[in-house]
Structure 1
């Protein structure tokens, strides 16, 4: 009878059986499909929408490619975008429509950022864009924003945004302070609004991409808004919809109350048209100043703010508070 090798004699049959079962379990784990369909779908969507090159629109995250042996990246490819597949519907979640939220940011408010994090719209479909002034306040706001971004983008995946862009203004701000009393002075409005338009145009044209379905302008001092804000606004299926803004204040009785704040949406009047006809090309006509009465129908003054209002019937899409300022959205 031939001798049994020493190594085999010392091997327990139970050990061999356990090793075999462990191997089978490992192979099943490797080759079986993931049970988390939502995670797989999110990851695939991010990969499919990723930019193909650093020069691609920044609203899509860029997936870096390996450099060549000489350390040089390949030239930019010719990218084809199928714009016919882009939709803007009243059910953007089901249709996976990308939303670009843009904010000129001179001061950072934690309440504003908390509202972004609380949005119930899938964050994988949201791109953020910011532009900040090169001032002491702007530098502080940029630092606070970067800290908030780092914490969010390194946190739970469902809270992360598809992409975030921060721009710095390349021109000096027209006024030094962003205090409400200073920025609402009538003599500051022309220069201030001109700078605002310039900054907003730079932000929009730099960040909008071929997959952007909706653009939401959201001021940085909006510190309370509903998590369903995007779904509320898109549900009206309008090309443009404007939110009203209301301000919290202490009334004569010392109690908190609200009042219309934003007068930038109106139905024009003949008085305003006559005033504009007499103005120079560089003059502007603005609301909220007693010495420039236009008698326009202000949207903020027509909003139904009663507690029992039918929000859909009154063409109202929700509430938001803006640095003690509220926004009630209405169709344009």
Structure 2
């Protein structure tokens, strides 16, 4: 147990001295041992004396001053609750004051935040960033962590981050009472995506997770808690006001919608938590065909339930306060009134109506007439972890990219080889084209000149101006060039 203020090693937790050794958990059984007989007899004698004096004063007042009230006489201290008149080992709690209301932050209602941890070292810093940002008064939130079956530095890093959080200079930052419980449950399923979400491991994994949740809750829940909030440490994005937002609905059990981001080539986003759903006739008929210990899990082809899932009803532009009655709940983020658990609802570590853990918790709460709702348009985002299909798809895309790059490189090599072996005809063609155009223009000018000359000769007799050899030679040259142009 780590109380909020731990300045001294001999500090008190809930009014009782704790052991001086660190990392110990003691229920101090000596507190409930009977007192020695002499003090008890002395207190009994004092009690009898006070009662005798009280009766004597009352009778005297009744006969001497019949109209006087004896109430002012009681203020003399004869019925006062002094230290000698109290039992130090008894605590009194009025559970009617911790039922949970819609505006608990105004009534200073305490919340127990529960977080099961297993190999969570890589997610803890992100989780503590959320703890820093919660807007619900931190001193009204008690933290409870269960570290189980971990092989990394989850426990060590958790202790370091808690010390930093409680030692923050901002007086509004430290939380209330903090509990760290360490217990292994023999969980053999690995924490990778393929193992955790594989169908074969779901039933046994869910039952062990239910045991872990029940252990954590039973060890940390106090009579003064009005709410219990379950939160996974791998939530990436959530509103800072999530506690107030969920509490305002004043429901016994309420969950938000949970999605996860995806790379653009996978669609950008995807529903994550499929454990929040409404019951269907198909699922009820399926449950009747299964064995007694069978556990139905959502999102797998082996169990076609055709249930309306909270995740698939999300509208990014919908009203975030819209409610939907559900039967199963997902465990990523659950806010429940403490009275639900005090009434006997828990996370079944067995097949309860063919469900276990959080889905069984939702079914059990509905069976006991508690309200269980989900918010389809109020969304929080789970951390993206590549699934087996995602990894396989990424490998296929990488192979396609390499094949495409190789094809482009081969094409570039072929073009280079062609250019090296053959001269580029483009430049010669442009040169020949220019020469032909210039020659045609020259011929046109000569033809126009010749036509003008013919006009002049028509005015002179043909025999008056014989054709010279030079002219004949020029005409022959023009004709040969014209024929060459036509051939081109």
TM-score normalized with structure 1 length:
0.71
Give the structure 2 partner of residue 174 of structure 1.
Answer: 188
Specify which of 45, 53, 57 is matched with residue 16 of structure 2. 53
SS of equivalent residue, structure 2 residue 302: helix
Structure 1 residues 216-258: Cα deviation after superposition (integer angstroms, max 9, x where no partner): 1101111221110100000111111012210111243x67x22
C-alpha displacement at 1:144, in angstroms?
1.2
Name the counterpart of 2:416: none
Q: 1:106-141, CA deviations, whole angstroms, 9 ceiling, x for partnerless residues?
A: 11311111001110110000001111113313xx11
Q: Report the Cα distance in structure 2 between the residues aligned to 1:130 and 1:94, rounded to whole angstroms.
A: 26
Equivalent residue for 1:264, pick from 272, 275, 279: 275
Q: 1:114 aligned to 2:129?
A: yes
Q: How far 1:101 sits from its partner (Å)?
A: 0.7
- The answer on whether the counterparts of 1:229 and 1:318 sit within 8 Å (CA) in structure 2 is no
How many residue pairs match? The answer is 256
Q: Which residue of 2 aligns with 1:91?
A: 103
Q: Distance in 1 between matches of 2:139 and 2:148?
A: 28
What's the CA shift string for 1:275-300, capped at 9, x where partnerless? 11111111111111123211111111
Matched, 1:185 2:198: yes
User: 2:313, 2:377 → 1: CA distance?
Assistant: 14
Whichever of the two has the greater Rg, that structure is 2
Cα displacement (A) at 1:169: 1.9
Partners of 1:249 and 1:112 lie apart in 2 by 20
Higher strand share: 1
Q: Quote the residue 1:305 is aligned against.
A: 316
Q: What are structure 1's unaligned runs of at least 5 residues? A: 1-41, 44-49, 56-61, 68-74, 326-332
Aligned residue number for residue 5 of structure 1: none
C-alpha distance after superposition, 1:19-48 (max 9, x if no partner): xxxxxxxxxxxxxxxxxxxxxxx99xxxxx
Q: Give me the TM-score of the superposition, normalised by structure 2.
A: 0.49
Residues 54 and 201 from structure 1, CA distance in 2 versus in 1: closer, same or farther, beyond 3 angstroms? Answer: farther
Matches of 2:113 and 2:274, distance apart in 1? 22
TM-aligned CA distance change 1:83 to 1:119, over 3 Å: same
8 Å Cα contact 2:234/2:383 also seen in 1: yes
Please state if 1:320 is matched with 2:375: no
Native 8 Å contact 1:174 1:195 kept in 2: no
Aligned counterparts of 2:258 and 2:149: Cα–Cα separation in 1: 27
Q: Which has the higher helix share?
A: 2
* 1:155 match: 168
Q: Distance in 1 between matches of 2:210 and 2:186?
A: 14
Rounded to whole Å, the distance in 1 between the matches of 2:290 and 2:319 is 42
Report the Cα offset of residue 313 of structure 1. Answer: 4.5
Q: Deviations over 1:135-186 (max 9, x none)?
A: 313xx111111110010111133111101111112321131x2111211011
**Contact 2:185-2:212 within 8 A present in 1 as well:** no
Q: CA RMSD of the aligned region, Å?
A: 2.7
Asked if structure 2 preserves the Cα contact closer than 8 Å seen for 1:100 and 1:208, the reply is yes
Alpha-carbon deviation of 1:263? 0.8
For 2:150 and 2:188, how far apart are their aligned partners in 1? 11
Conservation of the 8 A alpha-carbon contact between 1:101 and 1:216: yes
